[in-house]
Structure 1
Amino acid sequence: MRIKIETEEIVRVYRLLEALNDFFHQPLNFEDKDTVMRFAQKNYPEIRELYYDTIWEWLPEDIREKIRDSENEADISENPALI
């Protein structure tokens, strides 16, 4: 199955992955809580939007349903009280 993805959206994902790679490639970044917090505050809005809106919309409905089902199964296995 083929899907259409806007070039602008692909570039946004690429830029985010680039920032993540640059940050995590430097182990010293992990040692400074302020550096981690600044990185998270700067990048989380883009992560959130790409994850919940952009990439989710790329997925065909049958794939979305499989993801929802697998999340529900994980919720139940982690919390049997949900049964």
Structure 2
Amino acid sequence: MQKYTSVEDQVLYGLDKIDRDRKVEISLYDLVFVVKTIEELNRFFHQPMHYTSSEDVVEYLGTVNSGAFSLIHKMNYGMLHKYLPEDIKNQMGWETDELVNPNPPYYFKPKE
């Protein structure tokens, strides 16, 4: 039987293998962009009145070209990946799956 995991388990999986003292340098612009994007996501999702219907969430998320998803996409692929050391990228699925949870998140579970 397939095991499905929580969102938290997906993110936290394998992080205990990373040295907490290891550092990378990030541009201030990129860091502020990331912080502001997370703040905006939090501003929307912290208040359930902002998303009383699935249409509210769909409108907010938008597409790869506009809305919150465009910011997430830019942050993830256009900014943060360039700061990851090659060995970490490789462990995140480029070559191995050491930092990738082998079980899919709960939202992959087939709907009945």
**Shorter-normalised TM-score: what interval?**
0.7 to 0.9
Structure 2 counterpart of 1:36, from 57, 61, 81: 57
Q: Which residue of 2 aligns with 1:60?
A: 85
User: For residue 7 of structure 1, what is the amino acid of its counterpart?
Assistant: L
Q: SS where residue 34 of structure 1 aligns? A: helix
Q: Which residue of 2 aligns with 1:81?
A: none
In structure 1, C-alpha distance between the alignment counterparts of 2:70 and 2:51, rounded to whole Å: 20
In structure 2, C-alpha distance between the alignment counterparts of 1:58 and 1:13, rounded to whole Å: 13
Q: Which residue of 2 aligns with 1:16?
A: 37
In structure 2, C-alpha distance between the alignment counterparts of 1:21 and 1:62, rounded to whole Å: 31
Q: Structure 1 segments of 4 or more deviating over 3 A?
A: none
In structure 2, C-alpha distance between the alignment counterparts of 1:6 and 1:64, rounded to whole Å: 19
**Unpaired segments ≥5 residues, structure 2:** 1-21, 105-112
Q: CA RMSD in A?
A: 1.9
Aligned length: 75
Q: Does 2:46 align with 1:25?
A: yes
In structure 1, C-alpha distance between the alignment counterparts of 2:50 and 2:23, rounded to whole Å: 39
In structure 2, C-alpha distance between the alignment counterparts of 1:24 and 1:33, rounded to whole Å: 13
Q: Does 1 or 2 have the higher relative contact order (CA < 8 Å, sep 6+)?
A: 2
How many percent of aligned residue pairs carry the same amino acid? 25
Larger relative helix fraction: 1
**Unpaired segments ≥5 residues, structure 1:** 79-83
Structure 2 counterpart of 1:45, from 60, 70, 74: 70
